[in-house]
Amino acid sequence: MTRSGSERRALIRGLTWISPWLVGFLLFFAVPICLSLYYSLTDYTLLEGPVFIGADNYRELAGDALFHRAVWNTLYFAVCSVMGSTIISIGLALVLERPMRSAGLVRAIVFLPTMVPVVSASVCFLWLYNGQYGLVNALLAKVGIDGPDWLGRKALAMPALIVMSYWVVGSFVVIYGAALKDVPRSLYEAADLDGVRGAGRFWHVTLPMISPAVLFNGLMSLIWSLQVFAPPQIMTRGGPENSTLVYSMYVYMNAFIYGRMGYASALAWIQVIATLVLTLVLLGMARRVVYYRAA
């Protein structure tokens, strides 16, 4: 089927209008992706040209103890962060949906931390967790508790970072709040007639109806958690005995500290593939538990 002259002119005109986006996509997205895939198959130090070595970088991962440590730390952070932020944000949304004075002000306060740059928040929490001068230990001292060195102890460094991740649940609370407003009142009335109260009403009515929002927030939180970099890098630099060495930090270290860009590219591709697989698995599992109301 041939195109008419007017159709070809319309196509050229359309491509011309979107050409800045196309050029940007090619230069800053498509080309770097292709180069990183090629570099992952090479020995590349940034100072010398890449030397093709096939899949050696990927084979090296199996015996890399720091790689295994970074994977474990990242999964630990992701699971605790996603589960904790989900529970906290749903709880806050439920509280804020109840009639209360200054509810708008409280919502603004809850949402405000999401507008703070992650670097600034990391520096603030670095001082809050300071073992000698930090506000956390100062408050504990007022009740007679000798606070520990939160970021200097292996057992506490990662939990401290996980608690910090709950600082930015405001955007999740807003989404859950909108989902709660969309739950039909008739379902609550039917539950009341059947004698369903309290936790039962939440599990059998509220949670199924807001399950699409739970899935969306969970996916966003999972992807962010698997790529976390700034807080552990700024606050702990890997922590005692690499207890907070997360995956993105290890990619950065290999690329710009060790000068192993080829190995770092292989690590980055493993991260992308793992994130995609986990996302697809979560979406597959969600088909059985997520309820989508018919329009």
Residue 208: CB partners within 8 Å, gap ≥ 6? 291
pLDDT bin (cut points 50, 70, 90) of residue 102 is confident
Residue 185 has pLDDT above 80, yes or no: yes
Stretch 220-239: mean pLDDT: 93
Q: Can you give the pLDDT at residue 294?
A: 58
Choice between 2 and 287, residue whose per-residue pLDDT is larger: 287
Residue 238: CB partners within 8 Å, gap ≥ 6? 232, 244, 245, 249
Q: Is 275 helix (H, G, I), strand (E, B) or coil?
A: helix
Residue 232: CB partners within 8 Å, gap ≥ 6? 161, 238, 239, 244, 245, 246, 249
Contact criterion met (CB below 8 Å) for 78 and 222: yes
Q: What is the CATH number of domain 75-247+275-289?
A: 1.10.3720.10
Contact criterion met (CB below 8 Å) for 85 and 221: yes
Residue 43: its H or E element: strand 42-43
| DSSP summary character for residue 99 | -
Residue 135 has pLDDT above 80, yes or no: yes
Q: Can you give the pLDDT at residue 195?
A: 82
Q: Can you give the pLDDT at residue 2?
A: 56
Q: Among candidates 267, 94, 108, 259, which has minimal Cα distance to 181?
A: 94
**pTM of this prediction?**
0.89
Map out the domains of the chain as residue ranges. Answer: 75-247+275-289
Contact criterion met (CB below 8 Å) for 169 and 224: no
Distance, in Å, from the CA atom of 72 to the CA atom of 85, rounded to the nearest integer, reads 20
Residue 51: its H or E element: strand 51-52
Specify the pairing of strand 51-52 against strand 42-43.
antiparallel
Choice between 74 and 108, residue whose per-residue pLDDT is larger: 74
Distance, in Å, from the CA atom of 37 to the CA atom of 43, rounded to the nearest integer, reads 12
Contact criterion met (CB below 8 Å) for 179 and 213: yes
| CB neighbours of residue 219 within 10 Å | 16
